[in-house]
Amino acid sequence: MTVISNIDEEGINRNLRIRYKQDKIYTYTGTILVAVNPYRHLSIYEPEYVDKYIGYKIGEQDPHVFALTETAYQHMSRSSQSQSFVISGESGAGKTETTKFILQYLCSGTGVESTWTEQQILEANTILEAFGNAKTVRNDNSSRFGKYMQVCFDYKFHISGCTVQDYLLEQSRVAFQSPGERNYHAFYQLLAAAASDDRDLAEQFMLESPSHYTYLNQSECTEIEGVDDARKFDELRLAMSVVNISDEMCDGIFSVLSAILWLGNLCLEEHENDTERTRLTEGDHSVLQTIAFLLGLQMEALEQVLLTRQIIIRGNATDIPLKLNEARENRHAMAKALYSRVFAWIVSSINCCMTPGANKDFLIGVLDIFGFENFSRNSFEQLCINYANEKLQQHFNYYVFALEQQTYSAEGIEFSHINFIDNTACLELIEKSPSCILKIIAEECRFPKGTDVTYIMKQHKEFENHANYVKGDDRRRWALEFRILHYAGEITYTVDGFLDKNKDAQQANFFFLMEKSKIDFVRELPAFQDLMSVMISHVGTLTKKQSSLARSAAKGKLTVADMFKLQLSSLVDSLRQTNPWYVRCIKPNMQKTSENYDDDFVMTQLRYTGMMDIVRIRKQGFPVHIPYQEFLQKYRILYTGGALPEDERKAVAALMQQFETPSTEWQTGHSKVFLRHAAFEPLEDARYQLINESAITVQRVWKGFLHARVFKKRKSACIMVQRTFRAKRQRMEYLRIHRAIVIIQAAVRGMFAREVANALRLERACEEKARKEQEKMERLAKEREEQEEDELEASLRAMEAEVADMVRYVGSLDTGAIPWEMSEVISPKLPKYSGQAQEQLAAMAHITDELNVKFSQDTTAHVASLDEMFNFLGAESEDTTAGIEQISGLSSIEEVDSQNFITETNEDIGAAFTEAMAKISLAADFLNEFAENEIEGVPELSQPPHTERARHDAAITTAPPVSKRDSALGESVTSEDGSEIAPVEEIAKVSTAKKYAAANFEDVEALLQFAVEGMGSSVGVTKDADKPVGPEMKGQAKVVNKPIVKAKPKVAEKPRPPVAPKPGGQTAAPPRPGLVKASPPARGVLKQTVSTRTPPSQVAKTPPETERPHLRAKHNFISRQLSLEGGQLARGSTMSMLINRPLSTRSSPGDTARRQSLQSLWKKSAREAHRKERVSKLLQEWKFGPTEVAYFNKIMSSAAAEEKAKEEEKYYDLLEFAEENYSEHPSADLRRASIMSVRKHSVSGPPMTKLQMITYSNTPVIATSHVKLYDPALVSLAVSTFKELWKYMNNELKIIDDLFIQNLVKHGLQNEDFRDELYCQLMRQTTNTPSQDALVRGWELLMFCAACFSPSKALNKYLMSYLKKHSNQEVVGKHAKTCLRHLRVARIAGRTMAPSNTEITALKAFGPMVCRIKFLDDMTKAVDVQSYDCAETVLKSLAEKIGLQSTDGWALYERVGIQERFMKSREYLVDIISKWESGQQKSHGEFLVKKRLFRHPKDMPQDPVEYSLLYAQAVHSAVTVSKLHTQICNGQ
């Protein structure tokens, strides 16, 4: 209308009428939208119309509310400034519908796709309309409250949430409606749904028809033409579910609505004997009982609240009976309080559901507030409504007229001044302090005896001279009414009930009573008793002016007018922070009919809304104001004429001239540029287009860079893949050729090996034949040798006797008579002997060295020949040797040395012995020379007998233990690489033979050393032959801790011939019986082996010292070595003894170094032997010995059990924990003294001992927590918990026991740091408890805590010791054992729910819960469930019951109604049961077993049980899908 020239009021009216007739109900007045209500449905709000206006601005499409919304959204996204819509008009002009259309477009046209939040915004408006709208005489859907919805957007300008602020709900409509009006829609929708089909709904909420209720039938209007209340109720239930209002809360809301309706049916009557009191009528008892049931209250308590009022004087509460009128008003007040709090709860729930959180960068506010009202009888509500309209009109005038013209004047813009209707005087009459209507009402409400009459008289007196205030023409009605000249006209207000409505008096005891309700929703309503705090929570932070207003109002009780004034002030402040967009709604007629345009009625609305003035200022003014710097910063990029002038005005002019904008469309002020839309829109379009083109260029370059980088990366990856593939292919080709070559080589080598093997086999056969012939010849020669040996033995004995005589003779000579050449032979103290004797003794030592060299060379040459023969099979030979060593488990220096002598024959040893004896005879001849000089005998020399039996005993050795599997293998064992290994027994024999051969060579070495060193250095050391062996030799004998083989007794010797007498009468001394010749090793000893270990009990013990021959130290040591060989071969004792024995006095430095190197080598080899022995044993267990492994596991488990038993037997005293971790508590006397003392005087004294803190407390008060807690909230919780615990144990707690138990356990579950405090309190109160009943109740609490959570690691051992200590007691033994059983179970996941009533009952009975599990084949199994049983444990138990072989892929499901949920393996069943009991419907579900994962879906299960279950599951799924398909088809 701003483009129409010479337009006036008639022209505006005519333009609107013509467009109205053409169904064009929207008209632009600049950026202000005028909407005329068509009173019928138009098809201009369909989804295609939403798409039509997306991206377009005002003027580019037909006028529409969608176009205005799109323009506001674009302005917000471009300028990053919040927007707001102010919708005004009379009641019935279409404000609510316009609000719905704006929200519809914001939710549909501003996002890429519809989100759940946008759907919640639309459905929230449905809920608010049902509970806040009602039918009036002027509007079938009149908003009886105001709402300001702020749609929030994130930084991407996508909807992130919404907040709702409500204003002044009309509470009086709940109890009273004028004729032709209705109560709120929610009542009728609920009753219509109950009357249509849902009889269960009627029975649940005890509903009747609308005509049955006083609150609905007094206006005689219960229906609206064309409105289906039952369908609206279904839409309401759907909307509630969308905004996350649970079914339980929905039932609570409808239950309260039904209770409100029944409150109106209470009649009440005066008491018979007392007119100051009121009582219930006969019919009221059943009605009150129904109300009490619907509210979940006690009937007696509800009757007390209904018929009395409570006053508190000096802390004492007094109940005062109500008179009949007061009781009836109290009934209405209760109904209005219930409904207003229900509405406040709904608004709060919607805000909680749609809260944007931190994503609240920008917003678009939509204000839908009650329109201007003028009824036949206007009361306090109409005064507040019209006051709000005055406030919004002032805001509109300020922004559209006053602020605009002030800006023009300040900037020096040429314009013609416009006069507009200013309502400031009327608004000051209503709200401006210190004297205004609202102020007088508030003061009169606080006055004890204030009435409506006193109020209006004060008001008449105060404002009788005010221009906008009129007493009235009729003096008789001055005490009843007054008039105010509003901007929309003069309105008369009736003051009847003004003060009561402003007070909104509510009894506090009614809200206290609701806190005890059994219904959860009713218990939440008292939180909204103080609507002021609720309003502040919705508004947010108050400004300084609002805070002062709230404080001044709070000096007394806050009235409805005060709160409404504060809300309006906050609303105006919010609107001023946004860019406003105005929608003026026009009502075409009073009859609410379509196609009826009343010119006079519309003209009245146009005049008081100032539409003519709006057209003029929009036509002549410049609505767009931009500072110079901002203008140049935004549009500098559009200038193409080079550099802009430095002067800002000239720069702006250059830009405008470039776009050829007429100078009439823009002006420049002192600091701003003023533009009309005709000049502003081209600039915005050009800038937007340039920015888009630049953004596309940047995106193109950036995307090209990204794709180039990706291409290079993929190219390098392809090259790497190709390189790797080619290398892999070449490697495979090489391996193939290498494998073929290896196969060819193996075949050729095998051919050569077979030829060599055949040759060896033939050679072995020839050798065997020759050996048999040789044995035959040897047998014949042996007989001859035995005869010769007997003769030789006789001659040797004679020679030994002579040698002994010479030695004795030499020993009897004096030192001076011995030549110096024999001094070293006779005694170490004598001078050196002659060179001839030294040379002969050195020659004997040289003989020994030659023998050693000869043996080593011959053996090495013999072995080398075999090695060279099989040199090409070296790898196989090494593997075989390694396998033998691994199985035997023995490795020592003896094994290495014995290889050099394994092939030495008995003939070589005999020859060596013969040669040695020949050398010894030379020594005898040398000694004979001294016999001539009267040398007397020496001590006898004896050697332990080396007979055939003794050597057989010495050959007994040990072999590694052979497992059962080794025995079962028979002749051979196959190794891991496939090669054949000889049996273990044969390998042990070979190894033992090697060791014994080495030992026998050592025997020969010892004999030779005896001959050379012993005779040369140790002769004549002692003369006492009977003296026992010295302690050093005893110690030497103790070194070897092995069984010693007892030597065979000596064979009786033949009688020796007497010795011929010497000259001079002397007779030679007879030979000593102990002096015998050292026998050479027998021939068959090398081949004697034993494969089993000889038990220690079967080995002969060492003979006592008295039975053994008396030897000198050196000889005794050598003989002991030779006698100990039998039992020590397995461990290499012979070599160790030879290496570790002491060196002789003639040992050279080279011998010492060699001996030390051999000692270090022996120790290293011994350690390696032990290590290999352990490894071999482990390998035998892993490979061959399951019995041994089981035995080992048994030993380890028994050891672990013993260790655990020792740990459990250890007792930890709780006093120790208290000393370290408890807080300091004042003593009981100190606490009482501190309570009774005056604050000025401090009380000091010793604190409570730790022993007292772990013993039962007779008082329920503690100063602080037992365990040190650093959170003040937890400390306070500990103090209150101890008090409630004391009351519970002493049966003084008023709440239900199960509820207290659940709350107590819930504290421990929610606060992990609080668990130790709970356990400490329970252990304290169950120690030395005087009452047995209290003791049992305390242990039950301890049992419930143990079933739900564990203590900390620090407290655990003390708690376990405490429980074990009481586990054998008669009264609480079962409780302690139950606690121990629960605490010993390892919990991977913690519990989340407090125990249910079922679990509490089961724990009190010390038994499990019986849970029924259902299968899809209609089979049900009962399972015992403990508190620590999870889904995985129960599933395995079920599988054992039904015979299911594998639970792989199977799972437990929780089914409630038709909803199923998969249960995780670590989820506790008791938590699910607790969730069922605490749910909204308080109805239990069921557990179900189903197959969840199918790893091999094409494989048929072999288990028949699993097959039948899968078949039942498939049938069940098919039936379910079929039912769903049928329902979908029926729905279509």
Q: Which residues contact 292 (CB under 8 A, 6 or more apart)?
A: 298, 299, 302
Beta-sheet pairing, 489-494 with 579-586: unpaired
Q: Which residue has the tokens 């007088």?
A: 440
d(CA 1025, CA 938): 9
d(CA 1175, CA 1164): 17
**Per the structure block, which two tokens stand in for 685?**
């379009």
CB 1284 within 8 A of CB 1265: no
Please, which residues bridge with residue 973 across strands? 981
3-state secondary structure of 1489: strand
**Residue 1209, Ramachandran bin (φ over 0: left; ψ between -120 and 50: alpha; else beta):** alpha
Q: What's the Cα-to-Cα distance from 1508 to each of 636, 1418, 1420, 1492, 1519, rounded to whole Å?
A: 80, 12, 15, 15, 17
**Per the structure block, which two tokens stand in for 1373?**
């033994």
Q: At what angle do helices 1315-1325 and 1272-1289 cross, to 10 degrees?
A: 30
d(CA 824, CA 961): 53
d(CA 1257, CA 1251): 11
Burial of residue 1260, with CB atoms counted within 10 A of its CB: 0-12 exposed, 13-18 middle, 19 or more buried: middle
3-state secondary structure of 317: strand
CB 1121 within 8 A of CB 1138: yes
**Per the structure block, which two tokens stand in for 1058?**
């007497």
φ, ψ for residue 281, nearest 5 deg: -80, 175
Q: Which helix (H) or strand (E) holds 1524?
A: helix 1504-1531
DSSP string for 163-214: EEEEE---THHHH---TT---BHHHHHHHHHHHHT-HHHHHHHT---GGG-H
DSSP string for 1068-1111: PPPPPTT--PPPPPPGGGGG---SSPPPGGGSPPPPPTTTSPP-
Q: Which residue has the tokens 């922004």?
A: 399
CB 1146 within 8 A of CB 1013: yes
3-state secondary structure of 56: coil
**Alpha helix locations (H) across 1105-1249?**
1113-1123, 1133-1140, 1149-1183, 1186-1209, 1214-1221, 1228-1236
**Per the structure block, which two tokens stand in for 1133?**
């004792």
List active site positions: 91-92, 96, 139, 142-143, 371, 373
CB 468 within 8 A of CB 484: yes
**Per the structure block, which two tokens stand in for 997?**
């051969």
Q: DSSP assignment, residue 1060?
A: P
The residue type found at 1159 is Q
Q: Whole-angstrom distance between the N-terminal and C-terminal Cα of the chain?
A: 48
Q: Which helix (H) or strand (E) holds 951?
A: helix 948-954
Q: DSSP assignment, residue 961?
A: P
d(CA 628, CA 653): 11
Q: How many CB atoms lie within 10 A of CB 1140?
A: 14
Beta-sheet pairing, 481-486 with 469-470: antiparallel
Closest CA to 1380 of 1350, 1335, 1410, 1353: 1350
d(CA 566, CA 542): 9
